[in-house]
Amino acid sequence: MDAGQIAKLPMLVASLAFVLAFIFGAVANRVNFCTMGAVTDIVNFSDWRRMRMWVLAIAVAIAGSAILSALGLVDLSKSIYTGSKVAWLSFLVGGFLFGFGMTLSSGCGSKTLIRAGAGNLKSLVVLVVLGIAAYMTLKGLFAVWRTTGLDPWRIDVSGMGAATSDLPALIGAAGLGAAAKLWVPLVVAVALAVYVFKDREFRATPELIVGGLVVGLVIVGGWYISGHIGYLAEDPATLEEKFVATNSSRLESYSFVSPVAYTLELLMLWSDQSRIVTFGIAGVLGMLAGSAAYAVASKTFRWEGFGSVEDVANHMVGGVLMGFGGVTALGCTIGQGLTGISTLAVGSIITFAAIIAGCVAAVRYQIWRLDRTA
């Protein structure tokens, strides 16, 4: 690859990331893809259909990511999710706070972007608060609390003979060999797919099936863009490998907490020529644009505001909890619950469970509050 092609790579990566996120935003708006909504459907109505859509997306993401890895197109061990040291306390605390916060804010990071794109001003406020809290957790006051109080609590899986903290590596280190890198993800993906499609009600909702398939494939596509198209085995400037246009300097797929913070940073420091539209920032903008495009096309775009002072408080507190929790746990319901889970990283599985627990706790809290005021 010559110097001219390398110079164009950041724009190519960002453009492709935007296109996939645009599709994500439009489809997610159409099928009402929302983790918080899926959990509340179960708690309040015993309706598992939206949860099955999410699980289907996970199955597709796991299978697709494993195939990319087996073909040598990406190296998932170079993502932020599969490091040998598992910050279990950060994942538990961050995931729980994120799950609680997303319920107070009426949706996770991706749902907040979808709603903001469709004209919900409450979600726009949440995005700003989330972005500020996330930046404070990356580089500000909250970062001190995170790095001194939570992150040091880690388990090093290298002592178990595994180079990375994903299930295939751990199972392979237990004596089942390198083949576990492919067959473990495929077995998990098939098991999840069987669980999803054994339900007759879900099979009768093709819209949700398509939604799960598309979202899962978007995650796989993100890995390919960042980890293959945007990968330089040797950067001419440093003679080291490089993942172009990523904030983490590693391969990425979609996540919507830290990228919101970096989007605000870009807007505030626009004249700084060192700042560029990264994969994550393009994902944020694409989600907003895709949701807005669908809302306008379907005539569902409408301005919505807060209903009360308590409503404002709940959404702002929720935004802070999502910003802190999402960065601390290395991702949100998409960043860990789909992108991270697609690698079968132990930390992502811990975070996934913690997010669900936080969401359920918040739903129970809201029910208790309603009963008190009734």
**pLDDT > 90? residue 30:** yes
Q: 155 has which bridge partners?
A: 86
Q: Which residue would you say has higher pLDDT here, 5 or 22?
A: 22
What mean pLDDT do residues 189-217 have?
A: 96
Is residue 373 over pLDDT 80? no
- How much of the chain, in percent, has pLDDT values that exceed 90? 82
pLDDT for 162-195, tens place per residue?
889 999 999 988 777 667 888 999 999 999 999 9
Nearest partner of 109 among 121, 99, 96, judged by Cα = 99
The answer on pLDDT for 374 being more than 70 is: no
142 vs 374 pLDDT, higher one: 142
Q: Would you state the pLDDT for residue 367?
A: 87
Cα–Cα distance measured from residue 92 to residue 83, given in angstroms and rounded to the nearest whole number: 17
pLDDT at 18: 98
Say yes or no to pLDDT of 207 above 70.
Answer: yes
Domain-by-domain residue ranges, the chain?
Answer: 3-373
Q: Please state, rounded to an integer, the average pLDDT across all residues of the chain.
A: 93
List, in sequence order, every residue forming a beta bridge with 232; answer none if it has no partner: 242
Summarize the confidence of residues 345-366 as an average pLDDT.
95
Of residues 77 and 159, the one with the higher pLDDT is 77
Closest CA to 258 of 223, 275, 292, 283: 283
What are the structure tokens assigned to 141, written together? 């006051």
> Rg of the chain's alpha carbons, rounded to an integer?
20
Task: Assign 119 a pLDDT band (cuts: 50, 70, 90).
Answer: very high
Please give the pLDDT value at position 177. 67
Secondary structure string (H, E, C) spanning the chain: CCHHHHHHHHHHHHHHHHHHHHHHHHHHHHHCCCHHHHHHHHHHHCCCHHHHHHHHHHHHHHHHHHHHHHCCCCCHHHCCCCCCEECHHHHHHHHHHHHHHHHHCCCCHHHHHHHHHCCEHHHHHHHHHHHHHHHHHHHCHHHHHHHHHHCCCCEEHHHHCCCCCEHHHHHHHHHHCCCHHHHHHHHHHHHHHHHHHCCHHHHCCHHHHHHHHHHHHHHHHHHHHHHHHCEECCCCCCCCCEECCCCCCCCCCCCCCHHHHHHHHHHHCCCCCCCCCCHHHHHHHHHHHHHHHHHHHCCCCCCECCCCHHHHHHHHHHHHHHHHHHHHCCCCCCHHHHHHHHHCEHHHHHHHHHHHHHHHHHHHHHHHHHHHHC
CA neighbours within 13 Å on the CB side: how many for 299? 0
As a whole-number percent, the residues of the chain with pLDDT over 70 amount to 98
